[in-house]
Structure 1
Amino acid sequence: MTSRIRALWDAPAAQPPPPRRVRRDWVLVAALPPVIVIEAAARPEVPWRWVWAVVLVALVPTLLWRRTRPFTMLAIAFGAGTTVGLVLGGDPQLVATAYLLLLVYATMRWGSGRAILGGAAIVLAGAIVPALVEPPRLGDAIGGVAVIATTFTLGLAFRWRAGARERELEGARLLEREQLARDLHDTVAHHVSAIAIQAQAGTAVAATDPGAAARALAVIEGEASRTLDEMRSIVRVLRRADAAELAPAPGVADVRRLAEPSRADGARPVVEVHVEGDDRSEALPPAVGAAVFRIAQEAVTNARRHARGATRIDVRLRLDAEGVRLDVRDDGEAAASAAPGFGVTGMVERAALLGGTCTAGPAPGGGWLVAAVLPRAGWSS
């Protein structure tokens, strides 16, 4: 129990932080004084009704700071009310006194752990001290306890609800960051890797084959242009610009675009794509089709970057009634392909999110193999 109280004592204020003031606060502060005066005039049987009316009107401004200074406002209001009640020898019997419950609610809803415990102590003292001077009737005592307990519960319940919502939003933001990181890696990094490879190839042949160097520069220019286009698209989406491009997400049919014929200089391994089954865009759910393309693209990029001595990259895609099977294999040195990185992690995550699997490792007979299996069942377009 002591540890729980200590944990509550050290608890920070509610998150997200409350607004300082809104329009309804000013409306409430403007409407309450006339209501208090009207009730005091209409109930001549209430003892010391005008004194209580003045006290209640003077305490109305505490509502303006009930969110930013909940404990202080609660202490001022209940301290003044209890003191005046002890001096006059009775509790206020005006219905308008109920607005002070807003201060109790605000303390539970927005205050820190210290404010919650301190506020509960103040409210408890405000109920016990007058009862010692003049014991209330049993029905009044039970009703007062029920009202206070309900106010406490509502404040804490809404506090927990808002905190849970904030945690959900933070989780969604983390997922969005991970998705953005994967997209940046799978798209921009793909082109940057191609640029780096072409630059190395151009440097190697510049002295002996200027034509090959010029062709490498042309490829670099094309890759750089595509990289800039994709970066602009990502920035537009992040800024929510009206002019953001709404190009369709890549699908399983786009895997064929990864094919690359052999080159005379042998600077890049040949990429051959073999597809079995219906690879039309509507043949698979969009999420599955996009994942297949990104995994294939990343696997080809990794093979170009890390497979030392590779001359060939085979991309085999098989679609059937159960789902999709993707195999990307190169003929390079497997040990050189084993460098860990974000690419393999991204491929595994993409497959896992769709209920599939993705593995990467040395292939039987040499080379490196990336194998992914994504189910068709359970996903809809």
Structure 2
Amino acid sequence: MDVMAALAALAALAALGCAFVPRVSAALAAGAAGAVSLAVTAAHPLLGRREASVPWMLAEVLALLVLVVLAARYAPGRRVVAAAGLPGAAVALTLLRVLWPGEPSLMAAGCAGWSLPAVAAAAMGLYARSLDAARRRAVAGARRAQRLAIARDLHDYVAHDVNGMLVQAQAARSVPGPLPPAVADALRRIEEAGLRALTSMDRMVEMLHERPGGGHDRHLPGVEALEGLVDGFSPPVRLTVAAGLGLSREASATVYRVVSEALTNVRRHAGEAGRVEVEVGAQGSSVRVRISDDGGGRSGAASAGGPGASAGRGGFGLAGLTERVGMLGGSLSAGPTRNGWHVTAVLPARALPPAEATA
């Protein structure tokens, strides 16, 4: 019996067993088995061995192929090449134990053909790796959708109820006649606590609406970046921005979001449009942004904020933007025009106190 071949096969089988132990890295097990196999292959001609034990060699090759699959699937990104490459190269070179000594071209051709199973094993592992990544992205997307649903429920129901209690406390403080000091102090503390609760919920909704890539509204561009947004857009966009708007950071970022979402819907649903107009101007103490196109109204239902609303660049679609504009104390509408579609938003130029914005 070939002791060296048996030892190499047992080492590969032991590494394969260790790869399924939770605390052992599949990359480490595959690399170690590949290194041992390569060492045995290199020592085979040096020890004067002319024959190899085929059964042991086949067992070793099968174990190495499984390790290639595991390494290609589970090894960390920077180590996957080495982790899968060592056992893969070991599989290809094991044939030298049978062909040595021989014609160099024959040995090269044999090793090249013997490497095909290793290539197939690596492809299987990489395919499984891509499926794992897609599954993780799907789970992350589902969790994000659930977080956004919770955020909307929180704002629509809890904030509404808190705001109702706040209004009742304010009404009680304004009744004619003096109030007992203890009652007046309690009503004042209820009002302050309600304002703090509304502010905290607004901040939490903002955090839940954070983009997947880690971006946040404080990093979003505002009105000053609209020119860059519309530049090169097809169809051409006529941009009009009034001077001296004095927008808050939240209002400026929301105007940018509304324009971005509307242009995305024009591109998706009104490809035949020949003209798009974007107007940003003052309307009393508010800012009004209107995006209109001449695409025949085909950007309709899909962009109106219903069940089919597109996600767009903002990640929420116009339905989410309607909620966002409402949180700032404004309103958003979308609908057909005489020959196209419009999206119009009106929101305060400056941020409102929480109680006013959610009223």
Q: What is the TM-score when the length of structure 2 is the normalising length?
A: 0.44
Q: What is the TM-score when the length of structure 1 is the normalising length?
A: 0.42
The structure number with the bigger radius of gyration is 1
